Amino acid sequence: GQHSAMPAASGHHWRRAGDQLRELGDLADGGRQLHRELRSIEGADRPLDRALAQCGRVPALREASEMLRHYVEGFHAADPAELSLQWLMQVEESQPADASELRSRDGLDRAVHEMLREVGATCTAFLSTTVDAVRWRRRRALVDCTSNGVSATLTGAAAIVALPLALLQLAPGAVGSVGFTPGLASKRRAWSSLATGPAVKLNLVFDAPFWLDIPELREMLFLQDFTQAVPTWWTTRPVEAPLLVGWAAGPQVKRLAGLSARGLERQAVDSLAKAMRLPVSVIAARLHGVHWHDWQSDPLSQGAYSWIRSGGIDAHRAVAAPINDTLFFAGEATEGHGFNATMDGAIRSGWRAADEVLAA
């Protein structure tokens, strides 16, 4: 049976359109027709926007095209002007937005702790430790790192590099970059076929889940208003908690760039109030706390997760390829077949890299 700590999320997916709230399901037919049109496009890969321009000649598909752009920006943290059509079609087969309906009541780190527990007898995890440089030669890797201000060097016959793509793409010496000696010039062309999307996530904590008292929002799972700076909100359903999660990603993040914590909070409250059609004062009065993270400004990630540029559908193979039986590569950006940008992809890539080390 289903584990009680992993209940299924269900509810209404509302989109604000002027004074109307529209259910996502009401718009599904146009989306299905658009996907059929996109899949029928033949020839070389192309950016999504160019593909949509081909389909946009059909008036009935214009609204579906606009919805797909919003989806690509928000869910994939990607830019439709550069996103690979081939990759989007692949990921919609492998990992569409509704692929997982379960929510972890204990938080996502539960999965990480479970995996660590399985290998705890043979592995040591160094927390709060940053890697500064990797010096390597065949069958020998030295990893210079810092933990709480103390420098140390770890040594081994091989190293698995699972750094976020955005850090690997940095110029040597840039803030957050890890220096490799010898360098990884052979990887740069492959890395350039992928991009890392920005994302800002906000958790707004209230005195009570007041939306349960609003008839049309009582069973809300998602609420979206793409005219707002924070366009997407979701609830904790099926748990009724006084928490709403706000999300902006991809090109949407530009409207939040450079804001102070207070400015970000004001934008979030204003966006939510307009999406709910409530006075800002009502939302602000019930707000108890705001917890947020800007993944783009985090020096240890410098973005959320990766997406594929047009023409780069096979780049993950080059990104993942080991170097000299000594450096091996894991992380979501190294996983293809529509699984990059997902936790599934990250875990699959870890098993694959481990197999490669053992085989070498």
Question: Which residues neighbour 277 within 8 Å (Cβ) at sequence distance 6 or greater?
Answer: 19
Q: What is the average per-residue pLDDT within 209-233?
A: 96
Cβ burial 146-183 (10 Å sphere, 16+ → b, else e):
eeeeeeeeeeeebbbbbbbbbbbbeeeeeeebbebeee
pLDDT band for position 2 (50/70/90)?
A: very low
pLDDT on residue 3: 52
pLDDT-wise least confident of 99-108, 144-153, 223-232, 239-248: 99-108
Please write the tens of the pLDDT for every residue from 301-312: 999 999 999 999
**In this model, does residue 38 exceed pLDDT 80?**
yes
Asked if 101 contacts 9 with a C-beta cutoff of 8 angstroms, the reply is yes
Please write the tens of the pLDDT for every residue from 80-106: 999 999 999 998 887 777 667 788 878
Half-sphere exposure of 168 (CA within 13 A, CB side): 28
> Which H/E stretch holds residue 103?
none
**In this model, does residue 24 exceed pLDDT 90?**
no
**In this model, does residue 256 exceed pLDDT 60?**
yes
Structure token digits, residue 331: 């992380």
pTM: 0.91
pLDDT on residue 103: 81
Residue ranges in the chain assigned as alpha helix (H): 28-39, 48-55, 62-75, 85-94, 109-119, 165-168, 185-191, 261-276, 280-286, 315-320, 343-359
Burial class (CB in 10 A: 0-12, 13-18, 19+), 330: buried
pLDDT-wise least confident of 8-17, 43-52, 53-62, 221-230: 53-62
